[in-house]
A and B are shown apart, each in its own frame.
Chain A
Amino acid sequence: MRLYVDNSKCSGCNACRVACSLNLFSENNPKKSALVIEPQFPAPGVYNVKVCTQCGDCAAVCPTEAIKQDGQGAYYVDFAECNLCEACVPECPEEVMFVRSKLADTAWKCNLCGDCVAVCGTSALWIAEIEAVAA
């Protein structure tokens, strides 16, 4: 399973990012979320949204094995085991692996909780099997 996005449906409201920070950190702070919304205004007038594809490249390079896989196949950061080395950050092809040491003493990423999907009013986000959609 992974998170998918349809950029054409995103209205840039950022509800997903607040919901994300609440799930990951129990904090109301979209700067600590695992999605990126890049507004392209005034032209061409679109939102580019970056989401985790659960490719696992981050986990492969983590020297402390802090990035683990859960029962549904989602990679998540075990905050207690992250040493902030940032090795994972450049590995992420989608640029959604985060280290902002002023904000948190751990790296973070999407854990596929689905809260972003729950608050998205325009159905721009959804979770589905990786194979099913790729085919």
Chain B
Amino acid sequence: MNGYGGRILRVNLTNGTVTKEPTSPDVARNFIGGRGFGIYFLLKEVPKGADPLGPENKLIISSGPISGMMIPGGGKCDWTTKAPLTGGYASASMGGHFTAEMRYAGLDSIILEGISPKPVYLFIDDDKIELRDASDLWGKATFTVEKQFKEKLGEEFQVAVIGVGGENLVPYACINHDYGRQAGRGGVGAVMGSKKVKAIVVHGTKSIPVADMDAYRKAGMALYKACKDSEGLKDWTRYGTTIVVSWCDEVGALPTRNFSAGSFEDGKNLYGPVMREKIVITDKGCFGCPSPCGKYSRNKKYNSYVEGPEYETIGMMGSNLGIDDIEAVAQANLLCDDLGIDTISAGNAIGWAMECYEKGIFTKKDTDGLDLKFGNVEATFTLIEKIARREGFGALLSEGVKRASKKVGKGSEKFAIQVKGMEQSAYATHNATAMLLAYMTCDVGAHHNRAWAITYDLQVGREKVVPEKVARVIWLQNFRPMFDVLGGCRLQWVELGIDRDLYVPALEAITGIQRSWEDLDKVGERIWNLTRLFWARENEGFGRAWDMPSPRFYEEAPKSGATKGQITKLEDINRLLDMYYEQRGWTSDGLPKPETIESLGLKAVVA
């Protein structure tokens, strides 16, 4: 099948069998790939009420039709599962070279199901596919394991591996690849750990079939040319995502001391140019990327190497913890990567714990003797280790801030910064109503990448609550995750500003299926509705209350910084939701109406 590897690999860990199934042309047409395949298989194959860490849950790993192709950013891999962190939908996007290699091995998706009786790794070398014993790898750090595989099998093999966080089923454990790329959010690493799969190694030498070779090469070259001609290429490549640290600090979006403010008085020490000069040694690109945001760093202070930190980690492990030392942030990043836990959730959880400590809710008796004041770097390092190992005080934080704050009580729920049980990523949303709505309605919990609407807030007036903002969020939510469907990266469109129409002829030439963005946006809308239906199916009483943000954003105005004294009114939050549900064709409780399901052609899928 043109544009596809043509096979879905099913790995039954309970009985140790691996089987290949042909990729369905109908599924390819309707769901395209990546997170489209993910939600399709999740809804169809994971039974209602499945324990996220039990044998019924599945981990669905998917490439898309532009993965591994001569298309800018064709290196994104989707990891879909029922999330241990939230009990809802999880889809984590991982960059690097793994997804391209899957395709060269002829695979569109890998579905892990069941639970292995002992630790294993999945070995894929073209058509040689085996589950192999991983007893000697269990307990080892991610970098060590990746290095071991690369030395043993060669650099052409690509490796995805969990750390001790995943082994210990930390609900926000991640999956690591290429010494610094992650499938980060929602606990996909814990699902892999629950299945006793330490790693997946893949190598392929096959050519990906293409419908119209000449048209594909022409369209691919046009995309690269547009990227290279972009005015933003130079600065974006020099600083990557860290280019926004200063902007966020200036506009009050940089999470500071557990999101109590949006500007950090020592933020300048964390800005992109400071980091570039102090620690960055090279740019590190995902597959096919002409504008690599990955910055690889040599951290002299800690005698270590790490990819990053990128913006999110700087926000969550830096300003959010009151830490102004970029080398300390980089080291925290490395510890999380090596232990296999998500830097965003971990930074958020530690920030919550520090606030509890400063408010007297925790004392040293609770924290294993750690002096958990904001800014304490050594305590942060210690906590990261304790979280990944679920030791002592770390065990509480490893549960995520929603569960932990419920256990602790004493008002700490109010400053647990999360939506649907997922810790909010690094945008403070006291006065940025579109971005706040994006977090509230994001399909995995409080994550930024579905609708990065914060620049739109500044553009139209940040406190404004108008239908245009809601429409913008919906448009972004339908469209941006389409890159996760196609198996590529959105950042060439976002950051270099290339015309998204350039992707259409490329996609057509590769798959032979005629497409337009109108059609692709519709696929995005269908997927968005399906993920919502998954949440509702898995959670009794799911609805409007689940979309509410942390009270911090409507009850406690920052006492300093660019957003000092600014807050979103609760009534405006409700107005945002009313408008959002109406524009989505959902009920006032936030569930897709039957006629919406019908008009999107989803009746058969959810029947």
Using CB atoms and an 8 Å cutoff, list the residues of chain A in contact with chain B: 8-9, 11-15, 18-19, 21-22, 25-32, 38-39, 41-47, 100, 102-103, 115, 118-122
Confirm or deny: B287 has a beta carbon within 8 angstroms of a beta carbon on chain A. Answer: yes
B243 → chain A closest CB, angstroms: 16
Confirm or deny: B543 has a beta carbon within 8 angstroms of a beta carbon on chain A. Answer: no
Confirm or deny: B288 has a beta carbon within 8 angstroms of a beta carbon on chain A. Answer: yes
With contacts defined as CB atoms under 8 Å apart, how many contacts are there between chain A and chain B in the complex? Answer: 113
Instruction: Kindly list chain B residues whose C-beta atoms are within 8 Å of the C-beta of A32.
Output: 207
CA distance A119 to B155 in the complex (A): 22
Instruction: Kindly list chain B residues whose C-beta atoms are within 8 Å of the C-beta of A120.
Output: 290
Pairwise interchain contact B147-A42, C-beta atoms closer than 8 A = yes
Pairwise interchain contact B288-A29, C-beta atoms closer than 8 A = no
Pairwise interchain contact A8-B155, C-beta atoms closer than 8 A = no
Q: Max chain A CB contacts within 10 Å: which of B69, B70, B75, B233?
A: B70
Pairwise interchain contact B228-A121, C-beta atoms closer than 8 A = yes
Confirm or deny: B445 has a beta carbon within 8 angstroms of a beta carbon on chain A. Answer: no
Q: Using A11-B284, A11-B285, A13-B286 as known contacts, say yes or no to A122 and B69 having CB atoms under 8 A apart.
A: no
Instruction: Kindly list chain B residues whose C-beta atoms are within 8 Å of the C-beta of A43.
Output: 305
Number of B interface residues, CB 8 Å? 47
CB-based closest 7 A-B pairs: A121-B290, A11-B285, A13-B285, A29-B207, A27-B207, A11-B292, A11-B283
Q: Pick from B155, B217, B227, B291: contact of A22, CB below 8 A.
A: B217
CA distance A44 to B297 in the complex (A): 10
Please name 13 pairs of A and B residues whose Cβ atoms are closer than 8 Å in the assembled complex, sorted by A: A11-B284, A11-B289, A13-B75, A15-B70, A28-B216, A30-B104, A31-B204, A41-B296, A45-B284, A118-B221, A118-B224, A121-B289, A122-B285
Instruction: Kindly list chain A residues whose C-beta atoms are within 8 Å of the C-beta of B288.
Output: 13-15, 18
Q: Other CB < 8 Å A-B pairs besides A28-B70, A45-B282, 17 of them?
A: A9-B283, A11-B284, A13-B285, A13-B292, A15-B72, A19-B70, A26-B213, A28-B68, A29-B208, A30-B104, A45-B284, A45-B298, A45-B305, A102-B205, A103-B205, A119-B290, A121-B233
Within 8 A of A (CB), among B23-67: none
Q: Max chain B CB contacts within 10 Å: which of A27, A32, A46?
A: A27
Instruction: Kindly list chain A residues whose C-beta atoms are within 8 Å of the C-beta of B291.
Output: 121
CA distance A32 to B204 in the complex (A): 12
A113 → chain B closest CB, angstroms: 11
Pairwise interchain contact A15-B224, C-beta atoms closer than 8 A = yes
Instruction: Kindly list chain A residues whose C-beta atoms are within 8 Å of the C-beta of B227.
Output: 121
A127 → chain B closest CB, angstroms: 16
